[in-house]
Amino acid sequence: MESLPFLDVRPQIEEAVAAGRPVVALESTLVAHGLPWPLNLETARAAEEAVRTEGAVPATIAVWNGTPTVGLSDGELEELAQCKGVLKASRRDLAVAVSQKRTAATTVAATMFLAHHAGIRLFATGGIGGVHRDAHPWDISADLVELARTPVAVVCAGAKSILDIPRTLEFLETHGVPVVGFGSEEFPAFYVRSSGEPVTARVDTPWAAADLLATHWGLGGAGVVLAQPVGDQVAMEPDEFTVALTSAERLAVGVGVRGKELTPFLLGRLAEITHGQTLRANHILVIANARLAARVATALAEKHCSGYKTEIDN
């Protein structure tokens, strides 16, 4: 793999990757922009702990004072959770963050890119971006493009429920990205357990997921979406969510919010409208996804150590 200038892979991550131990990347936009203080820090720490409990190494990724960094320390994580004015960086924004010596929280697209260059193949997040609904039909997340070109598996609770999920899935299909349901034949919709749309395939164990990933990469494939539904205890009913989202979208149109500011705006309004239910769901699903990613990373590492032939080091 071609080395990436400026990338700081912390020693514990570099050593784990070199030794073939399971490592899970975690994004930082959730910390800086996705959840309020102190829930953001609690969620980030709990996700890292879930990865450790499963025997894998967590690697939270961000741009730290102009340096793309893989494996934030706990102190850096806490500072990021409280810092104001943190840049939200997709892949296109990485050069700006580096050249201007900015601290930036990385989106799914940017985190995938940096994780890949650090040798990490599993990445856990809340939900991927996608194609926005009718009010902004040309607003397509860079997450989808990154999935089409970067060989990293993204473990998530599907696409965020604020998106046009059928269009999102069509984009992924066109660009050769498998959308795999973990324990589900329907694609989950973040706060809602099912979007009603079918997935490419279903797997029911981390070992089966690892086998599919290894085969996909062995065939020269790029990204994979591994989606598991949010837990029953915090999931929203579809009709209830639709009412809340419609109200939040009206507010967004009224104040002219669009582009990369639209998603955090809608998520913030949804938290208010649902009296915190969406925040609770977000917290729970992020931790669950980190745990699943660690289990799949462990199974993939075991396959690699046992001589299972793939192209995962290309």
* Catalytic, out of 54, 160, 249, 303: 160
- Consecutive 10-residue averages of pLDDT for the chain (314 residues): 82 97 97 94 98 98 98 98 95 97 97 98 96 70 96 95 90 97 96 95 98 97 98 92 88 80 82 93 97 98 69 44
Residue 260 appears among annotated catalytic residues: no
Return the pLDDT at 314.
43
Q: Enumerate the domain spans of the chain.
A: 8-305
Report the distance separating Cα 291 and Cα 287, nearest Å.
6
Residue 303 appears among annotated catalytic residues: no
Query: Which value, in Å, is the radius of gyration of the alpha carbons in the chain?
Result: 18
**Strand bridging mode 87-89 / 153-156:** unpaired
* Catalytic, out of 27, 48, 54, 249: 27
Does CATH place domain 8-305 in 3.40.1790.10? yes
